[in-house]
Chains A and B, each alone.
Chain A
Amino acid sequence: MGILVVTGLSIVFIRDLFAVVILFGIYSLVSASFFVNLDAVDVALTEAAVGAGISTVLMLGTLALTSRREKKSSHGSTLPLMVVVVTGGALIYATLDMPYFSDPSDPIHHHVAPRYIQQSGEEIGVPNIVTSVLGSYRGFDTLGETVVIFAAGLGVLSLLGRFGKRPEIALPSPSMSHHLILRVIAKALIPLILLYGLYIQFHGDYGPGGGFQAGVIFAAAIILYAIIFSTESAQKVISPFVIHLLMSAGVLLFAGVGVVTMLLGGNFLGYNVLAHDPVHGQHYGILLIELGVGITVTSVMLSIFFDFSDRKRIRSIEEQ
């Protein structure tokens, strides 16, 4: 916890944006390990992959396309400081009669949550309770979350990328393929990362993991390939056009499961009707929607990464 506070505060004062971004990565990683302490293994895995991974990479990419130094700001900091002190004060005031940390008698541990803990084993048959709640009880939230990701991919695409056929342009994209060691290590590492991604995708029922984390790991493997062997060669493996189709396909698969359950006489995303045995139905449903999440997350992450790394080329197309 102390490290978090120190990191946070130093971000306020440091003007070198590169250092700020790296510190933020550290901040994310430390909070991820803190989540493990709090028994939130799924959250920890995600925070490590997203906060320390994707967010940091994107921020570095932005720095590469913009500028690295922060200028001294001219406006005063008294008013913001006051707002912050008032808000913080309100929160501290709120804590004074809050239920104590980790006390089993807190109201939060009663009402709704016990059913998830006690009955999800029978009702859904998946050991990881987080997966049960995420995939089934609150599956609709997860659909929403997938759509949020899709919306972000769409937004970045419209801002930086180019949808549809793009004119060919000869502008070499940077690569590090002349580094022999990097190349060899990457070749050995990438299959392993992909394999690990598959494991996370399909093991989410038993251990921490699931479509979202797997998607990020999958994307990370391809991004690593792109960084080392150039964006172009990565795009030969998976073309932007396919990526954009996959972005949609994941969401459609997820929502499609819902439509099928409706056609079979259940409610939207009521997986019980998917098989004769409700527990099996739940299992199929969760498997399919996790796959949908995985596909959308992988392709959106790739799309966003390529939009950033290809920006210079796309800009020269736009200017013609």
Chain B
Amino acid sequence: MNTFLGLYNYWIVIVLMMTGFYIVIAQGNLIKKVVGLNIFQTSVIILYVSMGKVKDGAAPILTDGIEIYSNPLPHVLMLTAIVVGVATTALALALIVRIYEDYGSIEEDDIHKQDGSF
């Protein structure tokens, strides 16, 4: 039971992660791939932030009278990761717009068909 409670949070994260991962590799629509990539990245962020939580801890802003804080380092790392995520998303979407202009489609199958085989 202890194992279950201690790890439950991580298991949910893994389910989310794999959902995102599945969307990226299995779906043929380019926009959906990008959404999947975002879900994948967000779940990694949840994983990191979960690591940083301390029971009964407070948000890591120094205040008088508080002794236990959650670990600030994962938060810092994940701020960076979120930024990297949105940067990648923006670039991916811009590529999709250009691909649509040149191919008239955002489906992987159609694009491969137009280019001959890959």
> Do any beta carbons of A and B sit within 8 angstroms of each other in the complex?
yes
* In the complex, chain A residues whose CB is within 8 Å of the CB of B70: 38-40
Q: Measured between C-beta atoms, what is the minimum distance from B4 to chain A in Å?
A: 10
Contact of A27 among B15, B39, B45, B87 (CB under 8 A): B39
Q: Mark B1-22, 1 if CB is under 8 A from A, else 0.
A: 0110111111110111111111
Q: Measured between C-beta atoms, what is the minimum distance from A43 to chain B in Å?
A: 5
How far apart are the CA atoms of A62 and B12 in the complex, in Å?
31
- From DSSP, what is the main secondary structure of chain A's interface residues? helix
How far apart are the CA atoms of A116 and B42 in the complex, in Å?
25
Q: Measured between C-beta atoms, what is the minimum distance from B7 to chain A in Å?
A: 5
Residue of B nearest to A54 (CB): B86
Contact of B57 among A39, A77, A311 (CB under 8 A): A39
Q: Verify A75–B76 contact, CB threshold 8 A.
A: no
Q: Measured between C-beta atoms, what is the minimum distance from B100 to chain A in Å?
A: 4
Residue of A nearest to B25 (CB): A80
Asked if A35 lies at the interface with its beta carbon under 8 angstroms from chain B, I say: yes
Among residues 37 to 86 in chain A, which have CB atoms less than 8 Å away from a CB atom of chain B?
A: 38-43, 46-47, 50-51, 54-55, 58-59, 61-63, 65-67, 70-71, 73-75, 77, 80-81, 83-85
Q: Measured between C-beta atoms, what is the minimum distance from A259 to chain B in Å?
A: 22
Contact of B6 among A62, A73, A101, A308 (CB under 8 A): A101
Q: Mark A74-103, 1 if CB is under 8 A from B, else 0.
A: 110100110111011001100110101111
Q: Verify B45–A61 contact, CB threshold 8 A.
A: no
Residue of B nearest to A157 (CB): B94
Contact of B71 among A21, A100, A113 (CB under 8 A): A113
Q: Verify A1–B12 contact, CB threshold 8 A.
A: yes
Q: Measured between C-beta atoms, what is the minimum distance from B23 to chain A in Å?
A: 6
- From DSSP, what is the main secondary structure of chain B's interface residues? helix
Q: Verify B93–A62 contact, CB threshold 8 A.
A: yes
* In the complex, chain A residues whose CB is within 8 Å of the CB of B88: 152
* In the complex, chain B residues whose CB is within 8 Å of the CB of A127: 61-63
How far apart are the CA atoms of A96 and B6 in the complex, in Å?
10
Q: Verify A101–B8 contact, CB threshold 8 A.
A: yes
Residue of A nearest to B28 (CB): A73
Asked if A117 lies at the interface with its beta carbon under 8 angstroms from chain B, I say: yes
Asked if A187 lies at the interface with its beta carbon under 8 angstroms from chain B, I say: no
How far apart are the CA atoms of A304 and B93 in the complex, in Å?
10
Known: A74-B28, A208-B59. 9 other contacts (CB 8 A): A11-B36, A27-B39, A38-B50, A42-B79, A50-B86, A51-B86, A67-B105, A101-B10, A155-B91
User: Can you give 29 contacting A-B residue pairs, CB < 8 Å?
Assistant: A1-B12, A4-B12, A4-B16, A11-B23, A11-B32, A39-B57, A39-B58, A39-B69, A47-B42, A51-B38, A62-B97, A70-B27, A70-B31, A85-B18, A95-B11, A96-B7, A98-B7, A100-B5, A101-B6, A102-B50, A108-B71, A129-B62, A130-B76, A134-B76, A141-B76, A149-B87, A152-B86, A304-B90, A315-B101
List residues of chain A with CB under 8 Å of any chain B CB.
1, 4-5, 8-9, 11-12, 17, 20-21, 24, 27-28, 31, 34-35, 38-43, 46-47, 50-51, 54-55, 58-59, 61-63, 65-67, 70-71, 73-75, 77, 80-81, 83-85, 87-88, 91-92, 95-96, 98, 100-104, 106, 108-109, 112-113, 116-117, 120-121, 127-130, 133-134, 138, 141-142, 144-145, 148-149, 151-152, 155-156, 159-160, 206-208, 212, 304, 307-308, 311, 315
List residues of chain B with CB under 8 Å of any chain A CB.
2-3, 5-12, 14-23, 25-29, 31-32, 34-36, 38-39, 42, 45-46, 49-55, 57-63, 68-80, 82-91, 93-98, 100-101, 105-110
